Amino acid sequence: SQALQICNEKSYALTLFILLKQEFQDVNLMSQSEWINKCDEVIIQVMKFKPPLHREFDIFPIWFLVLDIISDNRWHFDIKNKNLDQFYQQLQVYAAKATSLLDIFTTRSRQLVELKEPPPRLQLAARAMMLIIQRILSSKSSNNNNN
C-alpha cells in the first residue's frame, strides 16, 4: 500500500509498526494459506525498513513482528520460507556477522553514509533477534519431533 511505502521512505517506524500490526487484526478469520501470504507481506515490509542514522533503535519493535509470526501456532517448523531466510540474512548484516552490498543506512539528503559496521546497539539487538529466532524454531522442531 502507499502508506507502507511512505513509512519506509520517510523511516516512520511507529506508523509502520501500527499499520503492519493492523494487517493481522483478522488473523483468526484467515485460512492457513492466506495467513502465510500475509506473513510474507509483513516480513517483506520489515526487511524494507531502513532506520534513520542515529535512530537505528526505531527498527527494534518492527523486528518483533517477525517474532510474533514465527511464534504463532500456525507457523510450522517445516515451513521453508525464503523471506524469513532473507530476514535472517539481513539480521546477520546488522549483527556485523556478514557483509552485504546493501547499504544499511542512508541519510534523507540523498547522501550515502558508508559505515564499516553497524552501531554496537544495533549489532547487539540483531544478535539477540537471531538467537531468539533460533530458539523459537528449535523449540518448534523439538515439539514437531515429539508429536
With a cut of 80, say whether residue 31 has pLDDT above it: yes
User: Average model confidence (pLDDT) for the chain?
Assistant: 81
Contact 141, 77 (CB under 8 A): yes
The model's pLDDT over 98-120, given as tens digits with 9 standing for 90+, comes to: 655 444 444 333 333 444 578 88
Place of cell 493481522: 24
